[in-house]
C-alpha cells in the first residue's frame, strides 16, 4: 500500500508542476490558430477591396 501511495504522490506532484505549463501551451496554440485564421480572412478581404472606398471630391476650402 505504501508503494501505491508513493506513486500517487509523485503523480500528484507531476500534475501540479506540469499542469499550468501544459495549459499555457494549449492556450498559446489556440491563440496562434485564431491569429492565423484572422490573418487569412483579412488577406482575402484585403485583396477584394479597392485601395480607397471614398470618393475623390476636391476640397473647396480656402
Quick: pLDDT tens for 6-58: 999 999 999 999 999 999 999 999 999 999 999 988 876 555 555 556 666 66
Q: What's the pLDDT at 13?
A: 97
**Residue 62 maps to a domain:** no
**Residue 28 maps to a domain:** yes
Residue 28 sits in which domain range? 1-43
DSSP 8: H
Instruction: In whole angstroms, give the CA distance from residue 58 to residue 27.
Output: 50
**Residue 58 maps to a domain:** no
Q: How confident is the model at residue 62 (pLDDT cuts 50, 70, 90)?
A: low
Instruction: In whole angstroms, give the CA distance from residue 31 to residue 36.
Output: 9
Amino acid at each position: 500500500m505504501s508503494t501505491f501511495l508513493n506513486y500517487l504522490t509523485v503523480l500528484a506532484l507531476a500534475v501540479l508542476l506540469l499542469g499550468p505549463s501544459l495549459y499555457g501551451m494549449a492556450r498559446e496554440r489556440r491563440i496562434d490558430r485564431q491569429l492565423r485564421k484572422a490573418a487569412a480572412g483579412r488577406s482575402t478581404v484585403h485583396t477584394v477591396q479597392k485601395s480607397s472606398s471614398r470618393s475623390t471630391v476636391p476640397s473647396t476650402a480656402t
